[in-house]
A and B are shown apart, each in its own frame.
Chain A
Amino acid sequence: MKHTRRRTRTLVALVAAIAMIAAACGDDNGDPDEPEAAEEEVAEEPEAEEEPADEPDAEEETEEPAEPGDEMFDITLIPGVTGDEFYVSMECGALEAAEEFGVNLDVQGAPQFSPTDQIPVLEAVIASGPDAILIAPTDVDALQAPLQAAVDAGIEVVLVDTTLSDPSLAVSQIASDNLLGGSLAADALGELMGGEGAALVVNVTPGISTTDARGEGFIQGLEENWPDIEFVGQEYSDNEPARAAEIVSAVLAAEPELRGIFGANLFSAEGAATGIRQEGRDDVFVVGFDAGPAQIEQLREGIVQALIVQQPLDIGYQGVEQAVLALTGGENTFEIGTGFVIATIDNLDDDDVAPFLYRSDC
């Protein structure tokens, strides 16, 4: 009796577990958005896999210009972290390009910006056998070997946003020129401060190539063009708004002359603005980097006075374009730098700024 009951229960639970997995798949199919297209493609996968095998021959023999549209290539985008508006915007740009070039785009990522989380995702993506991978590597060294494995498996790799110690395995790398972005931030902040007072950088965490370059560019820009502004240092928020707010409160208490803060990424600027508001100060200017909905809101409220806006849509679009070029035997551009837009309360809704603001969905 006891055992029968147990067995029944085990069975019921097992059925529940399977149903759960099935439900997860099923729900996704029901969604009227892009994962559906990727889902359907799974069935066609074996076909698609044969195509790239023929591809190199075609490339050598005919050298025809790219003719996308006939091909249904599978491309997977792996952002540095999921649910971040910068990467979501990159995804939107990539989707736009995928539609235009007639390729299937799938997006897979980890909930944390870290190689320990990203590598297992990358390895599973490699196992699923796409034709190309667009990836924002979360570490310059740790991702080197896993991406080499992708290349060895015949997958074309495009680096977007961040890069590797040795990027030569990729067909192309596309990113903002962050050094330039930093110096643009210095100019914007210097103008707001009227060329005097003290300035602080709230950065993310040391060792990230992109944000390190922004900080460096800011310091250089300040030294070159704004000799009367005192630089009080660079602090690290660990990508937590609360931490950035604490830092700003503390520095405001210690440095009464502080008139300007450069927040080097989304959460750093958001937290810096919160810290200023907390202290009830209205004479401290903040220049942020990136333009997620939260920053736009703060720009509208006047808490942040300028935003250095990257062009993630362009990065995503060009990433897919380069992948398609590589798959169809076209000529790749190895290094592509994308530009910046400076957003202020006055130009926020203008046609040359509005399209560049980040999106939380496509």
Chain B
Amino acid sequence: MTQIPETDLDTNGATDAEGAQAPPSALKWLTDRLADSTAFIFVALLAMILVFTVLRPDAFATVNNLRNIAIAASILLVLSIGQTFVIGTAGIDISVGSMLVFSGVVASLAMAEVGGGQGWASVGVGVAVSLLAGGFWGMVNGLLVTKVKLPPLIVTLGTFGGVLGLAKVLTGGINLRTVPNELVNTLGIGRAFGVVPWLVILALVLTAIFGVVLRYTRFGRYTLAIGSNEEAARRVGIDVDLHLLKVYTLSGLLAGVAGIMNLARFTNTTIQGHDTDNLQSIAAVVIGGTSLFGGIATMFGTLVGVFIPTTLQNGFVILRIQPFWQEVAVGAVLILAVYVDQLKRRARNRL
């Protein structure tokens, strides 16, 4: 868990801001991690895996099933990376699922224009268009939050509905099915060395990169400084508006990446399938220990937070528990995770 106490800001913002702090030793890093609530949630995930494995070793703990869990989590994970940064600034982005759908729709339209929807050129154009579209809507969110000074909840609630509506306008509400085989056979169903799906590798690589960005770079420290105390961040010379614009744009860009992953996996734009992506990503980020009030965020927590609902769902189906219990369990985990986080914070404030 990374936190920027307000008292640090004077030195941090002015002098340290130029370069990344040297990473602490691996051992210290590990002990730090185990002492915080991310460790709790990680242990909870391991406990779930253990319980499911003991109850149905033949079905749950197979390479194939664990691979399916990882694939099911991968797209939500990419959305949740951006969400972690946004919530880290004490903002919120409920438009992620809509940006994903819009990106996928315009990418599919663009791919149909190039090479008749097949070939690597088509894939390249599709990826570029998807990133541009996602980044564009993210930037619109950022501009509305910083320049028009509207609350992030309202801005992204507006784009949540509006951007999805535009995607439906472009398609007449009918899912587009133009996805090049080159994309489906590699990113969609392909596996590195025949074992690890490329969807999972892409999601994990992005998580690792942005985990480092969040923890060890100026970009990450600015993010948490703004979330901790926006006014203080402004006074020490951080261009808060510019930084928030970058954070919301990043969230949109990652939704664009997720849009391509979604096309590759489902071979169509699945317009109707992303209404709750926003709530799922917010839940994952919060379960992972990121504070909804900003200033505290951890990418490792988000990774675990994404896997908990996915693993629960898979395990519950395998144990043949009535499907509604999964929703109950995820809700309980969310509340429990936030409660544990609160306990920790209270304990820390007393010290």
- Residues in A whose Cβ lies below 8 Å from that of B40: 9-10, 13-14
A128 adjacent to B317 (CB under 8 Å) = yes
A46 to B59, CA, bound (A): 10
- Residues in B whose Cβ lies below 8 Å from that of A325: none
A9 to B35, CA, bound (A): 11
A13 adjacent to B329 (CB under 8 Å) = no
- Residues in A whose Cβ lies below 8 Å from that of B174: 206-207
Contacts A121-B323, A127-B60 known; A115 to B266 CB distance under 8 Å? Answer: yes
A226 to B47, CA, bound (A): 65
CB proximity of A137 to chain B, nearest CB, Å: 12
CB proximity of A21 to chain B, nearest CB, Å: 6
Contacts A13-B44, A112-B273, A128-B318 known; A139 to B327 CB distance under 8 Å? Answer: no
Q: Which of A202-228 contact B (CB under 8 A)?
A: 205-207
The total of Cβ contacts below 8 Å across the A-B interface reads 156
B202 sits at the interface (CB 8 A) = no
Contacts A24-B325, A113-B272 known; A129 to B58 CB distance under 8 Å? Answer: yes
A141 adjacent to B177 (CB under 8 Å) = yes
The size of the chain B interface, using a CB distance under 8 A, is 59
Q: Mark B314-329, 1 if CB is under 8 A from A, else 0.
A: 1111111111110111
Residue of A at shortest CB range from B62? A127
A181 to B126, CA, bound (A): 40
Give the contacting residue for A128; candidates B35, B56, B333, B336; CB below 8 A: B56
- Residues in B whose Cβ lies below 8 Å from that of A177: none
B172 sits at the interface (CB 8 A) = yes
Q: Bin chain A's interface residue count.
A: 35 or more
- Residues in B whose Cβ lies below 8 Å from that of A6: 35, 344, 347
Q: What would be 16 A-B contacts, judged by CB atoms less than 8 Å apart?
A: A2-B347, A10-B43, A24-B321, A28-B321, A38-B320, A111-B327, A116-B262, A119-B266, A123-B68, A124-B315, A124-B317, A125-B317, A139-B266, A142-B270, A145-B189, A236-B173
Residues of B bordering A, CB below 8 Å: 35, 39-40, 43-44, 47-48, 51, 55-56, 58-60, 62, 64-65, 68, 72, 172-175, 177, 189, 262, 266-268, 270, 272-276, 310, 313-325, 327-329, 332-333, 336, 340, 343-344, 347, 351
Further 9 A-B residue pairs, CB within 8 A, beyond A127-B318, A207-B174: A17-B44, A17-B48, A20-B332, A28-B325, A46-B58, A111-B324, A119-B72, A127-B62, A127-B64
